[in-house]
Structure 1
Amino acid sequence: MNVILTVLQTIAPVFLLGAVGFAWVRAGFEYKVEFVTRLAMTLSVPCLIFVALMKTRIDPAALTTVSLAALAAYAVLTVVFWALVRVAGMDQRTYLAPMIFGNTGNLGLPLALYAFGEAGFGYAVVIFAVMAILSFTFGLWLVSGGGSPLRVLREPIVGATLLGGVFLWNGWQTPAWLTNTLELAGQMAIPMMLITLGVAIARLHPSRFLPPLGLSLVRTVICTAVAWMTGLGLGLEGVALAVLILQVATPVAVTSYMMAEKYGADADAVAGLVVVSTIVSIVSIPATLGFLV
Structure 2
Amino acid sequence: MNIALTVLNITAPVFLLAAVGFFWVKLGFEYRVEFVTRLAMTLSVPCLIFVALIRTEIAPEALAAISLASLGAYAVVMVGCLVLVRLLRLDVATYVAPLSFGNTGNLGLPLALFAFGEIGLGYAVVVFAVMAILSFTIGIWLVSGGGSLVRVVKEPLVAATLLGALFLWQGWQTPAFLTNAMDLIGQMAIPMMLITLGVAIARLQTKAIGQAIILSVIKVLICVAAGWAATRVFDLEPVAAAVLIVQLATPVAVTSYLLAEKYGTDAMPVAGLVVVSTVLSVIALPLILAFVI
- Please indicate, yes or no, whether the TM-score normalized by the shorter chain is above 0.5: yes
Superposition TM-score, scaled by structure 1 size: 0.99
Instruction: Work out the CA distance in 2 between the residues paired with 1:35 and 1:201.
Output: 17
Shift of 1:148: 2.8
Please say if residues 137 and 152 of structure 1, whose CA atoms lie closer than 8 Å, have aligned partners that are also in contact. yes
Q: How many residues align?
A: 293
Shift of 1:42: 0.3
Please say if residues 227 and 245 of structure 1, whose CA atoms lie closer than 8 Å, have aligned partners that are also in contact. yes
Shift of 1:147: 4.2
Instruction: Work out the CA distance in 2 between the residues paired with 1:148 and 1:169.
Output: 27
Instruction: Work out the CA distance in 1 between the residues paired with 2:118 and 2:30.
Output: 34
* 2:242 matched residue in structure 1: 242
Residue aligned with 1:265, SS: coil
Q: Alpha-carbon deviations, 1:243-271, whole Å to 9, x = none?
A: 00000010000010010011001111100
Shift of 1:66: 0.2
Give the aligned CA root-mean-square deviation in angstroms: 0.8
* 1:214 matched residue in structure 2: 214
* 2:175 matched residue in structure 1: 175
Residue aligned with 2:199, SS: helix
* 2:94 matched residue in structure 1: 94
Counting aligned pairs with the same residue, the percent is 66
Shift of 1:153: 1.2
Query: Which amino acid in structure 2 is aligned with residue 252 of structure 1?
Result: V
Please say if residues 138 and 147 of structure 2, whose CA atoms lie closer than 8 Å, have aligned partners that are also in contact. no
Q: Alpha-carbon deviations, 1:34-73, whole Å to 9, x = none?
A: 1100000000000000000011000010000000000000
Instruction: Work out the CA distance in 2 between the residues paired with 1:118 and 1:149.
Output: 30
Q: Alpha-carbon deviations, 1:142-175, whole Å to 9, x = none?
A: 1112243321111111110110000000111000
Instruction: Work out the CA distance in 2 between the residues paired with 1:252 and 1:98.
Output: 6
Shift of 1:21: 0.1
Query: Which amino acid in structure 2 is aligned with residue 56 of structure 1?
Result: T
Alignment of 1:1-80 (within 5 A): 1-80=1-80
Please say if residues 137 and 150 of structure 1, whose CA atoms lie closer than 8 Å, have aligned partners that are also in contact. no
Instruction: Work out the CA distance in 2 between the residues paired with 1:236 and 1:69.
Output: 8
Instruction: Work out the CA distance in 2 between the residues paired with 1:146 and 1:281.
Output: 31
* 1:164 matched residue in structure 2: 164
Query: Which amino acid in structure 2 is aligned with residue 242 of structure 1?
Result: A
Instruction: Work out the CA distance in 2 between the residues paired with 1:59 and 1:198.
Output: 35
Where does the alignment leave 5 or more consecutive residues of structure 1 unmatched?
none
* 1:121 matched residue in structure 2: 121
* 1:289 matched residue in structure 2: 289
Superposition TM-score, scaled by structure 2 size: 0.99
Instruction: Work out the CA distance in 2 between the residues paired with 1:51 and 1:117.
Output: 14
Query: Which amino acid in structure 1 is aligned with residue 256 of structure 2?
Result: S
Residue aligned with 1:207, SS: coil
